[in-house]
Amino acid sequence: MPGAVSLSRSLRRESCLWQRRFWEHRIRDEDDYRGHMDYLHFNPVKHGLVERVADWPWSSFHRLVKEGVYPADWGRDAKMGDGEYGE
């Protein structure tokens, strides 16, 4: 059943919102910030939810394109699993 909480998560009072390996990270500098933003924006593509970063409607990517931070076709040539964006 989609969205159901497993017994293990229920016993630990965990919801489905955060993954278990979540941890805090202090952003060190501009490059670190940019790397995290790239990771967030590319994640829907990486996980097969959309084919292009711009196809994910709930992303801050659209605002940042309007502000000139990213080109509209950013991420188009990235290879999934090559470690370029995050993890």
Domain range list for the chain = 25-87
How sure is the predictor about 7, in pLDDT bands with cuts at 50, 70 and 90? confident
Cα separation, 85 vs 78, whole angstroms: 9
Taking the whole predicted model, whether its pTM rises above 0.95 is answered as no
Helix H or strand E segment including 31: helix 30-46
Q: Mean pLDDT in the chain?
A: 82
Residue 82 has pLDDT above 60, yes or no: no
Task: Enter the CATH code of domain 25-87.
Answer: 3.30.70.1290
- By residue count, the chain amounts to 87
Which residues lie below 8 Å from residue 75, measured CB to CB, with a gap of 6+? 38, 41, 42, 45, 52, 53, 85
